[in-house]
Amino acid sequence: IIDTPISEMGFTGIGVGAALYGLRPIIEFMTFNFSMQAIDQIINSAGKIHYMSAGDLTCPIVFRGLNGAAFGVAAQHSQCFAAWYTHCPGLKVVAPWNAEDARGLLKASIRDDNPVVFLENEPTYGVSFEVSDAVLDKDFVLPLGKAKIEREGTHCTIVTFSKMVGTSLEAAKELEAEGISVEVINLRTLRPMDTPTIFKSVKKTGRLVTVEEGWPTCGIGAEVIAAVTESSAFDYMDAPAVRVTAVDV
C-alpha cells in the first residue's frame, strides 16, 4: 500500500504505467469526483491501449472509490459517474451493492486483464449485510458481466445497481402489500451489461422501471430501455418503460 500525494493525475499515471509493465495496481480515489483530474489517464491511456496496440498490450488495473451522492459533500461531490465511464469502450464498469458483490466482484476485477472502474458507495460502507459461508471462502469470486435477480416477481421488472438496489427492494416489499409482484435485478456490472437477464425478465413481467442515482439524460436507465426497445423483449411490453433518476438540475 503506497500512500501517495494528492495528485490524481500523477498517481493514476503511475498506476497505468505499472499495469502496462505487468503489475495489477488498484488505484483508489477518495471519491470518483476527483477522478476527473485523471480522466485522460483512465480513458486515453488505460482504456484505449489494447485497441491502439492491435491487442499486443493489456492494462490490468482497477480504479476504485466512492461514487454517487454521499453526506453533506455538495453538488460537485455528489455525482454518479456510472454513465460517464460505461460510455467508453475499453473499460469495464462494476457497481457493487452489498458485501457479497464487493468481495466477489473486486477479486474478479483485479484478475481481469482489462482496466476496470469499480464504483463503490459511501453510505453503504456503514451498512451490515448477511453473508453466507460460501461468500467468506477464500476462493469466492463473482463473474463480471452477470446480473443477479435479487427478488423474483411477475408484474414489473426493476433494473438497478449500487445503493439503489436496496431502495428498490424496499419499494418491492411495500408494493407486495398492495398485491404487486416486482422483480428486482441487480446489474452488478454495467459494462459489459447482462442484457439477456433483463430481456428474459421483461418478457415475463411486461413492465420495466429503471432506478439510478445518476441524471436521466444519456444515463444507465436510458441505455437499458434502449436495449429493451431494440430487442424482441419490446414486443412483450404492456406499458411504456419508466426511469427513476436524480433530478436533472
- Indicate which residues carry an active-site annotation: 8, 77
The Cα–Cα gap between 234 and 240 comes to 10
Residue 65 and residue 29 in contact, taking contact as beta carbons nearer than 8 Å: yes
Q: Which grid coordinates are listed for 82?
A: 456510472
Q: How far from the centroid of its chain's Cα atoms is residue 174's Cα?
A: 25
Burial 209-226 (b: 16+ CB within 10 A, else e): bbbbbbbbeebbbbbbbe
Q: Alpha helices, DSSP H only, in the chain?
A: 8-20, 39-40, 49-52, 82-86, 99-111, 133-136, 164-176, 195-205, 220-229
- HSE-CB for 85 with a 13 A CA cutoff: 33
The Cα–Cα gap between 152 and 173 comes to 11
